[in-house]
Amino acid sequence: MQRTFERIVPHSADQMLALVADVESYPDFIPYCQKMEVTRSTSAPETRFSARMHIRFGPVFQAYTSAITINPEAKTLSARATDGPFSYLSSIWHFLPAQQGSHIRFEIDFKIANPLIRSVAEPAFAAKQEEIIDAFVAEAQKRFG
């Protein structure tokens, strides 16, 4: 299931990239995120790492790990799930300078592995992405004014 979300925010592309890259802080503001476990690459700790997100939707607990790559020059952050409930999950954040802030574009493509819950879980997971994007925008306002 592919989805794309876009926002214009009054914060710089660099600020927004730094916010999204700050995965350790996700439990503080991302809905349903209970805990993050981050393992940094020794050769490039700021641009390559893995992050295990523990999420809770009501009574359902789930965790998955993503390999994350940040490209500061291109102002992108890409993530690819390496385990968890997905057959695949890949996403990319693009942060483009705009007149008085930046244009955020978030693209996600995923498939829930379990065919018995896929038809219900995929639309619900896709709908939650909108809420998560809004949480990033609200957190940027708190951090950057």
CA distance 18 to 136: 11
- Res 28: pLDDT: 98
Six-digit token pair at 92? 């990319």
- Res 29: pLDDT: 98
Strands (E), the chain: 2-9, 33-40, 48-57, 60-71, 76-81, 86-98, 101-112
61/67: higher pLDDT:
67
Confidence bin at 57 (pLDDT 50/70/90): confident
- Res 60: pLDDT: 81
Domain span at residue 62 reads: 2-144
pLDDT digits (tens, 9 = 90+) for 5-33: 999 999 999 999 999 999 999 999 999 99
CA distance 124 to 129: 9
User: Which residue has tokens 């926002």?
Assistant: 7
For 15, list phi and psi in degrees, rounded to 5: -65, -45
- Res 108: pLDDT: 96
Contact partners, residue 26, CB within 8 Å, separation at least 6: 33, 36, 53
pLDDT score of 58 more than 90: no
Confidence bin at 65 (pLDDT 50/70/90): very high
Cα radius of gyration (the chain): 15
CATH code where residue 134 lies: 3.30.530.20
pLDDT score of 124 more than 90: no
- For the chain, how many structural domains are there in total? 1
Task: Check: CB of residue 67 under 8 Å from CB of residue 46.
Answer: no
- Res 133: pLDDT: 95
- Res 122: pLDDT: 85
